[in-house]
A and B are shown apart, each in its own frame.
Chain A
Amino acid sequence: MTVEAGQSVVPDPVPDAVVPDAAPAVRATDLVKTFGSIRAVDGVSFDLAPGRIYGLLGPNGSGKTTLIRLLTGMARPTSGRAEVLGVPMPSRAVLARIGYMTQSDGIYPGLTVGENARFFAAVYGVRERGPIDDALGMVDLADRVDTVAGTLSGGQRRRLSLACALVHRPPVLFLDEPTVGIDPLLRVEFWTHFRALAAGGATIIVSSHVMDEADRCDELLFVRSGKVIARGTGRELRDRAGTADLEQAFLSLGAHVEATR
């Protein structure tokens, strides 16, 4: 792939009008998760439509990962309800239709690239080779199937991690900071993949604390102190805050929340 850093090959976000009013792929209803006296997720409600890319944006410790863990059923909410594809979580049946890329690579360093992908495919109940080859091809690791994962570079491990989340062609994809620690070139590549998956109908929830990634999402949710403080396209949020960039918008919208707390 010959992409210069900074040069975008990603198509523009899908305008709102294109998306029909479909049943939500992901729904949060008054989600609350407390750890002792800390309210990591503090009353979050939203509907996420299929086929779109949503960005969960917020600083470290704002509750993004906990929110994703509640939505995937990995953690039980203190109160409220998480639904994916219309089914309350946790549900093992729905987990078969969710792809989850954790913050850590979550791959077996002692297995080869191919063995890792085949393992997760088997766990997801995928029997055919097609989806596995597609996933490895997509992240450009098809020629490294026999390489032991522990010897891959950091970027290659991230790509394998993404492939392992795609082996079962999930309609809903949770990506927890997928681009942390990877170079700008690979980041552009990743966003190309995400856009292609969304074009294929997948709902993608990406968490990030990097604002410059935000404009690649169809819609953004600003997360701060366990709350979703604002939601909209990048342009809408900038307009609402009356600022030129998203970072300023986040700070200004955040300040508003802090003031009304």
Chain B
Amino acid sequence: MSGRRVVAIFRRVVQEIRRDHRSVALLLVVPVVMTGLIAFIVREGESPAVSAVVVNPAGPPGLVVAGALGVALEADGGSATLIADEATARAAIEDGSASVAVLLPAEIAPGVAMTVTILTNGMDPAGEASQVAAVGRAMLAATATVTGITPPTIERTTLYGVPSDDPMAPFAPAILGFLAYFFVYILTGISFLRERTGGTLERLMATPVARGEVVGGYLLGFGLFATLQVAILLAWGFGSVQVPALGPLPSFSVGLGLPIAGSPFLAFIVVVVAALGAVSLGIFLSTFARTELQVVQFIPIVIVPQFLLCGVLFPISSLPEILQPLVGLMPLTYAVDGMRQVLIAGADLGAAALQADLAVLTLVAVFFATIASLTIRREVA
């Protein structure tokens, strides 16, 4: 062991990294920015104002409770309005004009145990949980102001699906969409970089090939593997195959068996379109990288913010106001929402929300494919 050689290698490492400004930035700046962003999201995250509709079949005592509830919610910037019956309440939740519906019991009287049902949409489990909690607190405050009424038991139910039936269910749409997007980006970015650095792109450009043909071929090629990946991922996620007991092996099931309300084929389409966007993005960003390390360095810049802002970790509704425009710019936001529409709300192709998500994802894929092909020049350096 020679100290001198260790020092020589140490110096070599320092010299090389010092000259690689991106690595220095990655080490020193990006973690600070990332933790700052996360702290900002968590601290400044607003618990969104509750807009509740109240169904009151209990007559005058219910009106008193509803009035008190309205006062309590308004103190936090929310609102409560009376609505005719449960059906109209559900309609209000579905079209988004109300975030929560409060269903009061038929009898409200001193000494009678009372159960209040809180209904939410079910699409954004984490975000809605905070709303339900807020309504629960307001409900307790409201009943405390009305003399003689016992604090109610609160039941939670959702418009789509059964809440918290499977703890994995709320995360599944986001995780499946995110993973497919991420791996396709890495794979395409690195292979296209090899094309640029290996001299094959230069050679390809000396042939009659058009740059649109190059990008088109890449989209088809990586699209094929993305399609396979998504098919396997979704089969694994939603499938559940019972394997019978075999000799000493007990019977077990293969697949996560996640619940899905809509068509698995639609979920597949959503993720494949998102993944095609990732292929184009990978080609485009490889322009700005000279080494494979640099493709990887784009992850904290391109992928991590999308992960933080697309609603996987933090409900979009509770993100700070200032970040909301960014949320709309992240392709993953639409992938995650599209998956939720299909998986939880059981949307079909006729659903406007799903149509919008698919349209945005398609536009993103076309946009990046276009600018990616513009970055391939005959005059490659």
Residues of A within 8 A of B (CB): 72-76, 90, 92-93, 95-96, 98, 100, 102-109, 120, 123-125, 164
A159 to B380, CA, bound (A): 24
**B335 → chain A closest CB, angstroms:** 30
Asked if A95 and B206 make an inter-chain contact with CB atoms under 8 angstroms apart, the answer reads: yes
Chain A residue with the shortest CB-CB distance to B200? A106
Complex Cα–Cα for A173 and B208 (A):
15
Is the CB–CB distance between A124 and B206 below 8 Å? no
Question: Contact: A76 with B379, CB < 8 Å?
Answer: yes
The one of A73, A104, A105 in contact with B378, judged by C-beta atoms closer than 8 angstroms, is: A73
Q: What is the distance, in angstroms, from A118's C-beta to the closest C-beta of chain B?
A: 14
Counting CB contacts under 8 A, is B349 at the interface? no
Contact A108 to B378, CB < 8 A, known contacts A72-B206, A123-B209? no
Name the one of B199, B205, B206 contacting A104, with C-beta atoms under 8 angstroms. Answer: B199
Q: A72 to B206, alpha carbons, bound, how many Å?
A: 7
A125 and B213 CA atoms in complex are apart in Å by: 13
B198 is an interface residue with CB less than 8 A from chain A: yes
> Whole-angstrom distance from the CB of A78 to the nearest CB of chain B?
12
B207 touches A74 (CB 8 A): no
Complex-state Cα separation, A90 to B378, whole angstroms: 9
Give bound CA distance, A96 to B200, whole Å: 16
Contact of A123 among B198, B204, B379 (CB under 8 A): B204
Asked whether, in the complex, the Cβ of A100 is within 8 Å of the Cβ of B198, the reply is: no
A-B contacts, 15 of them at CB < 8 A, read A74-B205, A75-B379, A92-B210, A93-B208, A95-B207, A95-B208, A102-B202, A102-B203, A103-B199, A104-B198, A108-B198, A109-B198, A120-B207, A123-B208, A124-B207
Q: Which of B198, B208, B210 contacts A106 (CB 8 A)?
A: B198
Least CB distance from B204 to A in Å reads 7
* A106 touching B203, Cβ below 8 Å: yes
Interface contact tally, CB-CB below 8 A: 51
A123 touches B200 (CB 8 A): no
Q: Report how far A93 CA is from B207 CA in the complex, Å.
A: 9
Q: Pick the residue among A93, A95, A96, A106 that contacts B202 (CB under 8 A).
A: A106
Determine whether the beta carbon of A125 is less than 8 Å from that of B208: yes
Task: Please state if A74 and B208 are interface contacts (CB–CB under 8 Å).
Answer: no
Question: How many B residues face the partner with a CB closer than 8 A?
Answer: 15
Specify which chain A residues have a CB less than 8 angstroms from the CB of B203 in the assembled complex: 100, 102, 106, 120, 164
If A73-B378, A75-B379, A90-B378 touch, does A107 touch B206 (CB 8 Å cutoff)? no
Are A92 and B202 closer than 8 Å at their CB atoms? no
The smallest beta-carbon distance between B221 and chain A, in angstroms, is: 12
Given A96-B208, A106-B198, A107-B200, output 11 extra A-B contacts at Cβ < 8 Å: A73-B378, A75-B378, A92-B210, A95-B206, A102-B199, A103-B199, A105-B199, A106-B202, A106-B203, A108-B200, A123-B209
Instruction: For the complex, give the distance between the alpha carbons of A93 and B208 in Å.
Output: 6
Set of chain B residues within 8 Å of A100, measured between Cβ atoms: 203, 206
**Within residues 61 to 82 of chain B, which ones have a CB less than 8 A from any CB in chain A?**
none
The residues of B that contact A125 with a CB separation of less than 8 Å are 208
- Residues of chain A with a CB closer than 8 A to B199's CB: 102-106
CA A72 – CA B380 in complex, angstroms?
A: 12
Give the distance to chain A from B267, nearest Cβ to Cβ, in Å.
32
Interface string of B356-380 (1 = CB under 8 A from A): 0000000000000000000000111
B205 — which chain A residues lie within 8 A by C-beta?
A: 74
The residue on A at minimum CB distance from B191 is: A110
- A123 and B378 in contact, given A104-B198, A106-B202, A108-B200 (Cβ under 8 angstroms): no
> What's the Cα separation between A192 and B143 when bound, in Å?
99
A107 to B199, CA, bound (A): 8
List of B residues within 8 angstroms of A72 by Cβ:
206
Q: Report if A74-B380 is in contact (Cβ < 8 Å); known contacts: A95-B207, A95-B208.
A: yes
When chains A and B are docked, how far (Å) is the Cα of A106 from the Cα of B194?
11
Q: How far is the CB of A40 from chain B (nearest CB, A)?
A: 12
Judge whether A124 and B208 touch: CB under 8 Å. yes
Given contacts A74-B379, A76-B379, A164-B203, contact A92 B198 (CB under 8 A): no
**Please, how many angstroms separate the alpha-carbon atoms of A104 and B196 in the complex?**
12
Which residues in A have their C-beta under 8 angstroms from that of B378?
73-75, 90
User: Using a CB-CB cutoff of 8 Å, which residues 322-381 of chain B contact chain A?
Assistant: 378-380
B198 CB contacts on chain A under 8 angstroms:
104, 106, 108-109
Return chain A residues, CB-CB under 8 Å to B208.
92-93, 95-96, 123-125
Mark B203-234 against chain A: 1 for CB-CB distance below 8 A, else 0.
Answer: 11111111000000000000000000000000
Q: How many angstroms between the C-alpha atoms of A125 and B380 in the bound complex?
A: 22
Q: How far is the CB of B120 from chain A (nearest CB, A)?
A: 51
The smallest beta-carbon distance between B85 and chain A, in angstroms, is 65
Q: Which 7 A-B pairs have the closest CB atoms?
A: A104-B199, A106-B203, A106-B199, A100-B206, A96-B208, A92-B208, A123-B207
Q: Find the residue from A90, A96, A123 having the highest chain B CB count within 10 A.
A: A123
Residues of chain B in range 163-219 having any CB-CB distance to chain A below 8 Å: 198-200, 202-210
Name the B residues within 8 Å of A106 (CB-CB): 198-200, 202-203
Question: Which residue of A has the minimal Cβ distance to B206?
Answer: A100
Residue of B nearest to A99 (CB): B206
B380 CB to closest chain A CB (Å) equals 7
